[in-house]
A = this chain, B = another copy of it.
Amino acid sequence: MKPIKVGLLGIGTVGSGTFNVLKRNQEEIARRAGRSIEIAMVADLNTERARELTGGTVEIVNDANLVVNNPEIDIVIELIGGYGIAKDLVLKAIANGKHVVTANKALLAVHGTEIFKAAQEKNVMVAFEAAVAGGIPIIKALREGLTANRIQWIAGIINGTTNFILSEMRDKGLDFDTVLKEAQRLGYAEADPTFDIEGVDAAHKATIMASIAFGIPVQFNKAHVEGITKLEAIDIKYAEQLGYRIKLLGIARRTPMGVELRVHPTLIPAKRLIANVEGAMNAVVVQGDAVGPTLYYGKGAGSEPTASAVIADLVDIARLATADPENRVPHLAFQPDAMSDLPILPIEEVTTSYYLRLNVADRPGVLADITRILADAGISIDAMLQKEPAEGETRADIILLTHQTQEKNILAATARIEALQTVAPGITRLRLEELS
């Protein structure tokens, strides 16, 4: 069969990984795909570096339009990132009848609906395994491996930077700022780490997974997004004492009222497998009604792990390109005319358990007041940790773990608790998921 001709937009970290893996494993890949897959053209503003990286074997251009308009190119790989020029180029490639492979989670989480619609009209595929959890084939598992299931929820460690920081904070008892600096020094965090540490990157990925799991349009603007910048070392320690770890999770859950879509630091039982995912690794738990819980683990970023996903998409497209378009795997797992309009719930409507840390006066009746307010709000207490006041102190920490309740209930109850004169202002509130 004739080789598949690929055009590459952007030859940075993932682009060079894709070029190198395709070259190194070209025989093995061709033995699987039944044909060879060749990068025929590369567009990058830095043409000199692109020429160095490719060793002069490939046509290099600095205008990406030359790639998306080239009739010789079958598939365009978009690795530019962001919403701007990347979007234009993806839409142009689609308009020109080319299949697209992209690792651009931001683009799909925000403009996915428009892009997938354009692709459907032109009968081309847009593949994006690399957009979520790097080399872990989680999109494939959700879209194809678990098709039998009504998916109930997904919970994932889908940002390596923040998981590295949380692992280090726990391991070494250090605070966030110290560890962030170390992470930047080691290359686990970028110079501007905002998208990672504020949870935006994880929310892009959770948005995409929620769409695929439940058949809803991508709606990044409805996601609840909290990062780890305000997380204190003391809470990691108290959580540990109660048998929990704190992870930044991307969570998508189907309820009868709507879909929960949220990213925030979360206490999870230390005995769960996902609680033991350390360092920059990623892992996603998917709960299906037939299969039960399944977990997928691996490197969520990096040159060759992400390239692994990009190339898997190339082979998939090579295979499915000859199938009837309506028999291909739908972009968002469900047929475009069979999407659901289940709304995304505002965070106040979300149901979860809570970890509360209160600093209280060490005197009789304080705990009774607090538990009375929670009881009045219908919130049961699952566990409590009461610390002795430090030497010479008259105040102490109380940690409460609640059973499940709606966020609006806990907000109302904690406001009432904060109004008690015996309780210091600023209750620390973290969400807790049993993941069972």
A interface residues (Cβ-Cβ under 8 A, vs B): 1, 17, 21-22, 24-25, 28-34, 129, 135-137, 140-141, 143-150, 215, 273, 276-277, 283, 288-299, 304-305, 307-312, 315-316, 318-324, 326-330, 333-335, 338
Beyond A17-B290, A273-B273, A291-B305, is A327–B322 a contact (Cβ under 8 Å)?
A: yes
- Residues in B whose Cβ lies below 8 Å from that of A299: 291-294
Contact call A147/B328, Cβ cutoff below 8 A: no
- Residues in B whose Cβ lies below 8 Å from that of A276: 273, 276
**Residue from A291, A312, A316 having most chain B Cβ neighbours under 10 A:** A291
Closest 4 CB pairs of A and B: A137-B145, A148-B311, A294-B298, A135-B291
| Bound-state Cα–Cα, A31 to B17, Å | 36
| Bound-state Cα–Cα, A329 to B25, Å | 18
- Residues in B whose Cβ lies below 8 Å from that of A277: 273
Beyond A292-B298, A296-B294, is A34–B312 a contact (Cβ under 8 Å)?
A: no
Choose among B215, B290, B307, B329 the residue that contacts A21 (Cβ–Cβ < 8 A). Answer: B290
Contact call B32/A327, Cβ cutoff below 8 A: no
Instruction: Name the CB-closest residue of B to A25.
Output: B150
- Residues in B whose Cβ lies below 8 Å from that of A319: 320, 323, 327-329
Given A148-B309, A292-B299, A294-B299, 16 additional A-B pairs, CB 8 A: A25-B290, A31-B335, A32-B147, A32-B333, A32-B338, A34-B335, A135-B290, A135-B291, A148-B308, A273-B297, A291-B304, A292-B298, A294-B298, A321-B327, A322-B323, A322-B327
| Bound-state Cα–Cα, A295 to B297, Å | 5
Beyond A140-B140, A315-B147, is A298–B298 a contact (Cβ under 8 Å)?
A: no
**Residue from A22, A276, A319 having most chain B Cβ neighbours under 10 A:** A319
Instruction: Name the CB-closest residue of B to A318.
Output: B327
Choose among B30, B31, B293 the residue that contacts A298 (Cβ–Cβ < 8 A). Answer: B293
Beyond A147-B315, A276-B276, A293-B298, is A31–B140 a contact (Cβ under 8 Å)?
A: no
Contact call A1/B311, Cβ cutoff below 8 A: no
| Bound-state Cα–Cα, A146 to B33, Å | 12
Contact call B137/A141, Cβ cutoff below 8 A: yes
| Bound-state Cα–Cα, A330 to B297, Å | 25
- Residues in B whose Cβ lies below 8 Å from that of A141: 137, 140-141, 145
Beyond A31-B338, A137-B144, A150-B28, is A290–B318 a contact (Cβ under 8 Å)?
A: no
- Residues in B whose Cβ lies below 8 Å from that of A273: 273, 276-277, 297
- Residues in B whose Cβ lies below 8 Å from that of A21: 148-149, 289-290
Beyond A144-B140, A148-B311, is A326–B291 a contact (Cβ under 8 Å)?
A: no
Contact call B25/A312, Cβ cutoff below 8 A: no
- Residues in B whose Cβ lies below 8 Å from that of A321: 327
- Residues in B whose Cβ lies below 8 Å from that of A135: 288, 290-292, 294
- Residues in B whose Cβ lies below 8 Å from that of A310: 148
Contact call B32/A315, Cβ cutoff below 8 A: no
- Residues in B whose Cβ lies below 8 Å from that of A335: 31-32, 34
Contact call B316/A290, Cβ cutoff below 8 A: no
Beyond A135-B291, A273-B273, A307-B290, is A33–B147 a contact (Cβ under 8 Å)?
A: yes
